[in-house]
Structures are given as C-alpha cells and as structure tokens.
Amino acid sequence: MAVQQSVGPDPYFPDNGDPRYRVHRYELMLDYRPGPNRLSGTARINAIAGRAQLAEFQLNLADFRIGRVRVDGRQPHYTHRGGKLRVRPAKPLRAGAAFTLEIQWSGNPKPVPSPWGGLGWEELTDGALVASQPIGAPSWFPCNDRPADKASYLISVTTPSAYSVVAGGRLLTRTTKASTTTWVYEQSAPTSSYLVGLAIGKYQTVLLGDPGLGGVPMHGHIPAHLLPQFSRDFARQPGMMDLFQRLFGPYPFDEYAVVVADEEFDVPVEAQGLSLFGVNHVDGARSSERLVAHELAHQWFGNSVSIADWRHIWLNEGLAKYSEWLWSERSGGRSAQQLAATAHRLLSARPQDLRIADPGRKSMFDERLYERGGLTVHAIRCALGDEAFFHMLRAWVGLHRGSAVTTSMFTAHVARFATEPVEELFDAWVHRTPLPPLPMPEARAAV
C-alpha cells in the first residue's frame, strides 16, 4: 500500500520536513571518530517531486559544515541556517520528477534542542548512539524529517576497530582496513527518519533464542559486564516475538536487535528493527520486562505502521501499551482486564484535560496518553470480542505495512469488524477528555 502523505506541514513541528517532495532512498556514508566526536558524511538521496513544479525545497540538518551539494549532478544555490538546508536547483524540477541529491557535511554532532531536552546524536562516555524521536534525526544526517516520509536506507559507518556499530536492518558487510572497520547495513523496509537507529560502542553480541527455520534473527549488543543480568532480563523476548507474531501477524522486518548502552536512560527508545535500553533497565530481576515487550511491539505499531503526523501518536503508544498487557496476560501475569483497572484508577486521580486524538505538542509524551491509549484499545477489544479484535489487529498491520495512518483511518477500520457502530466509543475515549467508565468484556452489547 502506498505511504499516506499529509498534505501540509506537521502541525506540531511545522519547521520539520517538506511535503513538496518525498524521499525514496537514503544512502549514508559516515566516518565517526569517538575521541574527538568527529563525524563526516556523504548522503546520496533519491527523491521524487510532488504534484507541483519544484523550484526549491528544504531538508533538516543541524549545524554542520557543508562541503558539497549537488542536484542531479549540478550545483544548486543553497543556504544552511537554523537547522534548515534550503536548496534551489539550477533548473526547477518538474512535477513528479525523480531526482538525486548529494550532500557532504562534517562537524561535531550533538543533540538538537527540543521541549524534551536534546534529541538525536548523543556522545557517550565511550561511543555514541542515536535516539531521535520525534525530531532528532537532523542531528546527524540531512533528511526530510517528517514521520510519513518513509524511505529505505543503506548506512555505511567507518569507525576505529575497537568499536562495534549497530544499526537497524541487515548487516551486509564488515570490512577492516588498518585500524578502522566499515560496517554496512541495509534497511529495505520504508523507514521514518526518526526511526533510523545507530549505536557505536564496545559491545558483546549474543544471539537471543534460536531463530530456526523461518524464524526472526534476534541479537543483543551489550557491555560484557552486564551479560549475566541481560541473559535473564531478556530471556523471554523470543516468547514475546512468537506471541506477537500470532496476534499481530509476521514480524515486519528482516531482523531485530537490542542494544544496552553503558549509560542510564530515562526510558528505552525504539528504532526500526532496533531498540535501545539503558543500564538501568538491566538488573537481572526482569524489572523492566514490560518495556521489553513495549519496544518490541512498536516494530508493528509505530514502525511498520507509522503515523501520518504527530497528532496521532496515541496509535503508536496505545497499541504498544496494550501489547504489554497482552504479554502479561499470556505469560502468566495479571490479565489485561486487571491492568486496565489499574490504569483506570491511575487516570481517575489525574486531571482529565487530555484529548488523545490531538494531545498537543506539550502533551504528546504524557503518561496519561499511554495509559488512556491502552484503555482505548481495551475498550475496542471488549466491544468486538476477542476473535474479531485480533482479526482486526492482524488486518490493520497487514493492510498498512510500510505505510502511514491516521486516527480516522483506524476508526473506519475498526468499524468494519464491529457488529454495532463504534463512533460513540471513539468519541468518548479518543476525542473527548472526561474518562469513560472502565471497559468490561460484558459491555459489548451496550456499545
């Protein structure tokens, strides 16, 4: 299915992305030196102009030195200020035309500022990693930074041989010359720029489970001293993968990797085919197991099926939150109904002024959005019944694989699996702020 493109700027981040064109593929050739935190790169970007002639366009890129810009081999006029690289081709591009953009850049990468602190490239004590949600991708490469503009990626990283490089996707080659090693990864599935993950560090790599015939290869990349704790904390991830494939459909990518950085993180961060955890999420007691499930579930909800713009983030987080509850229910823990009741009690004691269909930029990562999103999914399950509910989820993932979606698309999709109208359910849970009563399985006849 074609990627859903929104027609204008993202309402929450109007300075990010350019809807006048879309990118088909990024090829990034990077050289990184951890000591001086020095990054140099060349990008080859294959793109397609939109429905109008393209006299100029823009990309997002942080404060790097630009060495070269070419559009179809010709030098354009360009300016680079305030995180925007504005490009005016020597000759306007006709509507619908394919074009190739080449950019060279270099400098000292650092996080870009945001309402939630610095995002994107982060220099660690010994290495670096990228955690870009929602607007951190321009901290390390030039991109059309909007979630609906999904492209394939080839990423080549050269770094000192003492370091490992992990990126989302399939490792094609690893070549050592003198004191450096070049790692080349391919992510062929359509990927939003904020979901391009990268970690550079001194890691030990372990296989998570036996993929067997037709299984999903899963690896952990961790500091050696955390291996005993990691082996327990992530022991049930293969079981999660099996369950989620049964419930949601086939895993949408070639491989899945987990990186544990030797630093503390506030929360884990998902990337496409890759999740990043902090040392504080590994304690040998499975204290963060729900987060292991949450990040894995994002591979279906948020990564393969992405959002058209950031107003719809509850679709990512609500479905990932509910996946935590499904894992608990199916692995001997508390049932989804019990966890929904706990979430409902939590929300009843909090201000009820959040509309999850459009939470606003300041509240898009509010804990209430996650909990109410999970409750909304539970209300849908109670209304449809289990058979129709899981059929609905598998169809949603299958129909929109590699695409971008909206709340109205999800509402219409759920309605096709319901025996009674669902508009009132979505109105109460998604579009209004007061907290509806706790959904119960027997409430189906009342919906």
If one counts every other C-beta atom within 10 angstroms of the C-beta of residue 342, the result is 12
Domains of the chain by range and CATH? 1-199 (2.60.40.1730), 306-446 (1.10.390.10)
Which residue, among 358, 381, 379, has the nearest Cα to 435 in the 3D structure?
Answer: 379
- Own/partner pairs, 80-83, CB within 8 angstroms, 24+ separation: 83/15, 83/112, 83/138
314 vs 307: CA distance, rounded Å:
9
Which residue, among 375, 248, 373, 229, has the nearest Cα to 301 in the 3D structure?
Answer: 248
* 8 A C-beta contact, residue 376 and residue 314: yes
> What's the confidence (pLDDT) of residue 210?
75
Question: H-type helices in 331-443, by residue range?
Answer: 336-348, 367-384, 386-399, 407-415, 423-426
Which residue, among 142, 60, 58, has the nearest Cα to 106 in the 3D structure?
Answer: 142
* 8 A C-beta contact, residue 441 and residue 337: yes
- Map tokens 């953009």 to a residue: 101
408: left (phi over 0), alpha (psi -120 to 50) or beta: alpha
36 vs 44: CA distance, rounded Å:
25
279 vs 223: CA distance, rounded Å:
9
16 vs 117: CA distance, rounded Å:
17
> Dihedral sign, CA of 296, 297, 302, 303?
positive
> What's the confidence (pLDDT) of residue 3?
41
Which residue, among 245, 308, 296, has the nearest Cα to 271 in the 3D structure?
Answer: 296
> What's the confidence (pLDDT) of residue 1?
41
* 8 A C-beta contact, residue 342 and residue 439: no
The residue count of the chain comes to: 447
367 vs 302: CA distance, rounded Å:
17
> What's the confidence (pLDDT) of residue 442?
64
**Over the chain (447 residues), what is each successive 10-residue block's mean pLDDT?**
57 96 98 97 98 97 97 98 97 97 98 94 95 97 98 98 97 96 98 98 92 84 97 96 97 97 92 97 96 98 98 98 98 98 98 97 97 98 98 98 98 97 98 97 47
Contacts of 326 (CB under 8 A, 6+ apart): 243, 247, 336
Contacts of 208 (CB under 8 A, 6+ apart): 218, 219, 220, 234, 237, 238, 258
* Strand-by-strand arrangement of the 170-177 sheet: 65-71, 98-107, 38-49, 21-33, 151-160, 180-191, 170-177
| DSSP structure string for 286-299 | -TTHHHHHHHHHTT
349 vs 384: CA distance, rounded Å:
28
343 vs 340: CA distance, rounded Å:
5
> What's the confidence (pLDDT) of residue 7?
60
257 vs 129: CA distance, rounded Å:
14
Judged on CB neighbours under 10 Å (0-12, 13-18, 19+), 75 is exposed
199 vs 212: CA distance, rounded Å:
27
| Beta strand ranges found along 246-332 (DSSP E) | 256-260, 269-271, 274-277, 306-307
- Can you tell me whether residue 225 is helix, strand or coil? helix
Q: What is the largest CA-CA distance in the chain?
A: 70
Q: How many DSSP H helices and E strands does the chain contain?
A: 9, 21
* 8 A C-beta contact, residue 16 and residue 145: yes
